[in-house]
């Protein structure tokens, strides 16, 4: 079983890509709604929180953990890899595509992201409140950063943004190329499982969904409270 973790619903964009890429793999999705949003948390807060969540996934025998959240990847994945004997797949903006990168404030401020971004000619735009608006189904227009003139490419640097990719495309216009990294993350998950001889080539998968907040139904999925 593949563990998938996000602060909320954003990681479902990655989960959907994994289901398509790896149709025989079961998944366990954990949404940390009790601490949502991560985009305005400090790196220290996130690093204190994550080991408890990963321990919960490990106890349920997941064979790898996909960090389906740019902010967790930017702030915590290095420490998680040091402390847990399980492969992790991170989610980072596809900045090799260049252009404008939309991220949460915490991702923008992280050392990992800044080190990555300095190697490419990108412009980083933090979007305070955008992930929260998407999570709660509110209009996104007022939270979406205004693009500089002559922008050609926009990289989605938060998995929540991928959920409303079509809306972002409509707001920015059809001439803007929107980069969605979800398929690449799914392919990397396949690569990690293959290298570790953990790939499941057949079988009937099951998909489980848990939340650290209140039990809920969202996007047609029932999330069960897990009490973390």
Which of the residues are catalytic? 69, 158
CB 189 within 8 A of CB 66: yes
């Amino acid at each position: 079983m593949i563990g998938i973790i996000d602060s909320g619903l954003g990681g479902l964009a990655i989960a959907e890509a994994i289901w398509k890429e790896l149709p025989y793999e079961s998944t366990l999705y954990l949404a940390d709604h009790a601490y949502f949003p991560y985009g305005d948390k400090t790196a220290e807060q996130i690093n204190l929180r994550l080991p408890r969540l990963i321990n919960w996934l490990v106890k349920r025998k997941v064979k790898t953990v996909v960090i389906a959240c740019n902010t967790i990847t930017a702030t915590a994945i290095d420490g998680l890899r040091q402390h847990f004997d399980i492969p992790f797949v991170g989610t980072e903006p596809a900045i090799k595509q260049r252009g404008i990168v939309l991220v949460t404030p915490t991702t923008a401020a992280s050392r990992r992201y800044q080190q990555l971004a300095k190697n490419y000619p990108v412009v980083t735009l933090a979007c305070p409140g955008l992930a929260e608006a998407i999570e709660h189904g509110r209009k996104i227009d007022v939270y979406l950063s205004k693009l500089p003139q002559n922008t050609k490419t926009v990289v989605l640097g938060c998995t929540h943004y991928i959920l409303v990719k079509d809306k972002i495309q409509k707001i920015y216009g059809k001439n803007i190329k929107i980069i969605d990294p979800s398929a690449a993350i799914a392919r990397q998950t396949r690569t990690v499982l293959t290298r570790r001889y953990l790939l499941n080539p057949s079988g009937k998968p099951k998909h489980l969904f848990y939340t650290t907040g209140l039990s809920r139904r969202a996007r047609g999925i029932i999330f069960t409270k897990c009490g973390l």
